[in-house]
Amino acid sequence: MAVVNLTSESFDEEVLLSGKTVLVDFYADWCGPCRMVSPIVEEISEEREDIKVCKVNVDSEPTLAARFSVSSIPALMVFKEGKAVRSEVGAAPKTAILSMLE
């Protein structure tokens, strides 16, 4: 499944109203650790059809970052049934990201 780039307008429909578990990657293009996490997140989106993977660029969507109190990036959040259930800040290895999804 392809990674979905989110905006303030699309977030609620794509994440909160999704019937799937959703992994959201809050990132910025200039962020080195974000560039390390990005290929891992994309790999998970290809491997796990049961997980919807989305990304939020905090520079172009600062209101979304503020809405979810994202002050450091990369920040990964897992949503289930419209609620944030897990979050992790910093460059996490694939095994740690996968364990967040369980």
Question: Which of these is catalytic: 4, 31, 58, 76?
Answer: 31
31 included as an active-site residue: yes
3-class state of residue 42 by DSSP: helix
Q: Record the tokens describing residue 81, joined without a space.
A: 């049934």
29 CB neighbour count, 10 Å cutoff: 11
54 included as an active-site residue: no
The rounded distance, in Å, linking the Cα atoms of 7 and 16 is: 13
CB 88 within 8 A of CB 95: no
Question: Which of these is catalytic: 15, 23, 34, 70?
Answer: 34
The rounded distance, in Å, linking the Cα atoms of 42 and 2 is: 8
Q: How many helices (H) and strands (E) does the chain have?
A: 4, 5
Active site residues: 31, 34
